[in-house]
A and B are shown apart, each in its own frame.
Chain A
Amino acid sequence: MAMPEITDGGGARPSVRQEDRLWIERIPAPYWVAGVILLIIPAFASDFIMFQIFGWTFILGMIATSLMFLGGYGGMVSLAQMSFAGVAGYMVAIFGDSAIDTISMGWPWYITIPLALMIAVLFATLIGWLAVRTEGIYTIMITLAIAAAFFYFTRQNYDIFNGFQGFNSVFPPQLFGVDWRRPIPFYYLTLFWATVTYFAVLYVSRAPFGLALQGVRDNPRRMAALGFNVTAHRVAAYAFSALIAGMGGILLTWQSAQISPGTVGIQPAIDILIIAVVGGMRHPVGAFIGAFLYVILKTFAVDFLIAVGLSGDRFQLLIGLGFLLVVFFSEDGLLGLWEKLRASRNRDPLTGEVRQ
């Protein structure tokens, strides 16, 4: 993935103002590299790598980006993002097609998908309105409790959510004659939406709303004194994050072709937090880095554990220890470590001053 250095592009030619160059010249080199690599991966990767590893990375990365947006720009660490994703996934299964035809209504995709996203956003607005009544550290407790409540509710409710079983055979629509669940189309589908998410979050973070949100994060009192509606900004941040998480949730449902209470349980909710924190909450790219690591670990940890002589069940231990190490040594995940490394490389070892 590209490293977050948008402004570095003009460094090579200081005489030319950035605005004078064509837009295509202003795209920094890392974006070119990452973009080309991601576009040509299907040429040499196997179906498993495309569908399972990259598809899943992009999906989890999107859901983690929604948390990164809330946590990084809004200062609200929410554990309910997986529930928002789950609501959208469930709604697609309920309004669209699934094997449970007593509940699923079989409506066409152009109604179900917007409807599912809308319901997810509404749900998140409600939850956000509840959660922002408390601040900082309390938010994490309240959203954890809400995620648990949603999990138990879906497990107990058989009329709408089909209880323990959930829904299976939820497939993406056959649009333009393409089966979107084939590895290559699915790869590009998830890549497309992950890219949209990435740039949407970057755009919003620099738009007036995002700047105001960061102001609210840093000093809510001052923002309130300046005339900004602090609560409204926070709730709106929840709504926007649910839009991203909802997209991720729909793709996740299509990828595994099913959704059940296990998808929205407490463990997945915590996994999303781990992904976002390990990657780093300062920039959306962190969420995707974290997701990639998580997926790699989840896929290959069993082999690794068996190779070092432990049983493959100790996967959680590996995840937990890795998470602990990253949180312990860095305030801002892997991105924070990277920044630290660069800062120390730019520093003169004798005087400790920053080199020009």
Chain B
Amino acid sequence: MRAFAARHPIWSAILGAFALILLYLIFAIWPEWLVDGIGRKKVFLNALFNGITLGGLYFLVASGFTLIFGLMRNVNLAHGSLYLLGGYIGFFIADSTGLWLLAFPVAFIVVGVLGVFLQITVFRRMEGQDLRQTLVTIGISIVMADLMLWGVGGDFYNITPPRWLSGPFETGLVTSQRVRSSGEVVTSYLKYPSVRIVIFAASLVIGLAMWLVLNRTRIGMLIRAGVDDRDMLSATGARIQLVFVGVFFFGAGLAGLAGVVGATFQSAAPGEDIRFLLASLVVVIVGGMGSIPGAALGALLIGCAEQFGSVYFPTYAVVLTFLIMVAVLAFRPQGLLGRS
């Protein structure tokens, strides 16, 4: 961080000023002119929280995508379908057993095993042929989308979180302060659905755990070495196929896990697969392909852009995220945290 500040003083100043303004906007009681300018603080805070939690969901989807891409150069365009499959599995598990928490490991394992199956039967046969692998994943996503439509129909499935998570959560952030005519001061605080906060915390934990595994363990070392130079790694005697299978399991499993989260946040329905595939594409393009911190930063940016966009300029909210992508591509083609 200090090295960054020394190398890019202007950018650090801009980022610092931005952070200060953000902190002010979050904690201060907004004066009248600010409310007149950009609307009520409650709206702003809600958009911010929605953006951050949506970013957490995007991170879960995109980190698996970027991990697989970084190691195997496999643009897995069936990632969105794995996500949706996880959502459906999660729904049926939660619906039949009533155990919301059980849905996560089941979706993780089932979708992960499917990923391993794909890796062994399909992708291993065409190793090194990036384009062909990508085309095959397009085919798989079309087939999976139609099979799922066949299996569960076109309805919206929404997982209801358990009761202990369904209430609102008092954040303690002041949204507004009014003085009544009686002289009494009314302070209202922001309430936020606790399930979203819990899920965001969980994705934070998963992200941190991934970072720790990648940077502090032997397996992580193997994976990082594979990202840098796959051929050299296999030449040193590491069992690279085993690493590939493991990463594919984990990456696909994360997509399934994210599917359960997504079905709790929003819903699982046909079309969500493409939506989340696009979101993770944009996230990894913005953040830098193959980089986990990049995926986190990209997910945060895109999640916030989507939510702020839908509040402040609703017509072009979807286009806004793509504009960010275009801007990043034009000025930093390798992504914000990617290596050139």
Contact = CB atoms under 8 A, between A and B. Distances in A.
Interface of A: 77, 130, 133-134, 136-138, 140-142, 144-146, 148-149, 152-153, 156-157, 266, 270, 273-274, 277, 313-314, 316-317, 319-321, 323-324, 327-328, 331
B235 interface: no
Interface in B115-133: 122, 129-132
Interface of B: 73, 75, 77, 122, 129-132, 134-136, 138-140, 142-143, 145-147, 149-150, 274, 278, 281-282, 285, 289, 315-316, 318-319, 322, 325-326, 329-330, 333
B333 A134 contact: yes
B305 to A, nearest CB: 13
B140 to A, nearest CB: 7
Given A316-B146, A320-B146, A156 B316 contact: yes
Contacts of B136: 324, 327-328
A266 B289 CA distance: 22
A321 B146 CA distance: 11
10 contacts: A130-B329, A145-B278, A145-B282, A145-B322, A148-B278, A317-B147, A321-B143, A324-B136, A324-B139, A328-B122
A152 B319 contact: yes
B218 to A, nearest CB: 29
Contact of B285 (A142, A273, A313, A323): A142
B146 A314 contact: yes
Contacts of A327: 132, 135-136, 139
Given A136-B130, A136-B131, A327-B135, A317 B322 contact: no
A323 B141 CA distance: 11
B226 to A, nearest CB: 17
Contacts of A138: 285, 289
A156 B139 contact: no
Given A137-B134, A277-B135, A145 B143 contact: no
B255 to A, nearest CB: 16
Contacts of B73: 137
Nearest to B284: A141
Given A153-B319, A316-B146, A320-B142, A137 B281 contact: no
A148 B282 CA distance: 11
Ranked 5 nearest A-B pairs via Cβ: A320-B142, A149-B322, A324-B139, A320-B143, A133-B333
A81 to B, nearest CB: 15
Nearest to B69: A137
Contact of B139 (A145, A146, A323): A323
A316 B154 CA distance: 15
Contact of A141 (B75, B142, B146): B75
A274 B77 CA distance: 14
A328 B139 CA distance: 10
B329 A133 contact: yes
Contacts of A321: 139, 143
A156 B281 contact: no
Contacts of B319: 149, 152-153, 156
A93 to B, nearest CB: 21
A137 B278 CA distance: 15
Given A77-B131, A149-B318, A149-B322, 8 more contacts: A145-B282, A149-B319, A149-B326, A317-B146, A320-B140, A320-B146, A321-B143, A327-B136
A73 to B, nearest CB: 15
Contacts of A270: 138, 142
Contacts of A134: 329, 333
A152 B130 contact: no
A146 B142 CA distance: 20
Nearest to A156: B315
Given A133-B329, A137-B130, A148-B278, A320 B139 contact: yes
Contacts of B146: 314, 316-317, 320
Nearest to A265: B274
